[in-house]
Amino acid sequence: MISISAVRYLNTLPFIYGIENSTLYKKIELSLDFPAVCAKKLLQGDVDLALVPTACIEDVKTSKIISDYCIGSDGPVETVSLYSNVPIFEVETIFLDYQSRTSIELLKILLRDYWHLSPKFIKANVGFEEEVMNKDAALIIGDRAFKYNNYYKYIYDLSLAWKELTGLPFVFAVWVANKNLPNKFIDEFNLALQSGVDNIEEVVKLQKLASIDCKDPVNYLCNKISYVLDSQKKKAMELFLEKII
């Protein structure tokens, strides 16, 4: 039985729906984790396949990207942003979200190459989102970000900034295996993911999203998240990995 770790954010629900409603579901063990935990499980060999932050790919010595799908964006994504009550050029300290290394690395690249700033970083703990004061800023990712899109005075969408810097889309996470998987499984897995992506309205209809502050989940999933791992996204991944500090 193949073990899989995936992320349970709003943007991954199409993947979860596709997997849970496929012929594969009875043949796998599926766990739902934070992005950083997905990567940790894959690195430690606790799972065979995981949806991992792009920055972690090279940490897996035998990494194999096995899917035609990813969590990507091409312009503003709304759920990976820097928040502050002062303009970014006045920010002195940034709280870094603990849930994903890729977003942290992306922020560091943008601060260096796009904004040309070098603030102090603080590794944040649970509950940091509302502790931002004075000349602080906070990197907040995932479903929690919807709440803070109307909370802070200044919002800097990292995916949009990357697009303005490079002209490319961005890939936040990809499906990576730490071993060779059967071709039949890979084909079935891709079909399962495609099924979810092709049925987003049904996915949203079936999910209980009361705890998520997203006003229009269908619009977010269809127009802010870009799921197909195409040639432009692969080019963007290569550039991002080259630029990591």
Residue 199 lies in a domain: yes
Give the DSSP letter of residue 26: G
Pair 101, 159 in one domain: yes
* pLDDT for 46 beyond 70: yes
pLDDT band (50, 70, 90) for residue 98:
confident
Given this model, what pLDDT does residue 215 score? 87
Q: Which of 65, 97, 71 is nearest to 172 (CA)?
A: 71
Distance between CA 208 and CA 143 in Å, rounded?
14
Q: Phi first, then psi: what are they for 134, rounded to 5°? A: 50, -115
d(CA 76, CA 73): 7
Identity at 91, one-letter amino acid code: V
Give me the residues paired with residue 141 across strands. Answer: 80
Q: pTM of the full predicted structure? A: 0.93
Q: Is residue 243 part of a domain?
A: no
- 177 occurs within a structural domain: yes
Mean pLDDT, residues 145-155: 91
Positive/negative CA dihedral, 95, 235, 229, 59? negative
- In this prediction, residue 213 carries a pLDDT of 82
* Number of domains forming the structure of the chain: 2
Residues 176 and 64 in one domain: yes
CATH number of the domain encompassing residue 228: 3.40.190.10
Q: Give the contacts of 72 (CB within 8 A, at least 6 positions apart).
A: 169, 170, 171, 172, 225, 226, 227, 228, 229, 233
Enumerate residues 6+ apart whose C-beta is below 8 A from 11: 71, 79, 220, 221, 225
Where do we find the tokens 């090279």? Answer: 58
Same-domain pairing of 103 and 142 = yes
- The verdict on 35 and 95 lying in the same domain is no
Tokens of 156: 């800097």
More confident residue, 97 or 48: 48
Task: For residue 37, tell me if it sits in a domain.
Answer: yes
Any domain includes 159: yes
Last residue of a domain, one of 116, 149, 166: 166
Query: For position 211, what pLDDT does the model report?
Result: 60
Q: Is residue 181 located within the same domain as residue 157?
A: no
DSSP 204-227: HHHS--TTS--S-HHHIIIII-EE
Rounded average pLDDT over 208-216: 75
Amino acid identity of residue 40, one-letter, is K
Q: Are residues 97 and 160 in the same domain?
A: yes
- What per-residue confidence (pLDDT) applies to 214? 87
Among the candidates 140, 166, 192, a domain finishes at: 166
CB atoms within 10 A of CB 189: 26
Same domain for 177 and 157, yes or no, is no
Q: In terms of residue numbers, what domain contains 224?
A: 2-72+170-235
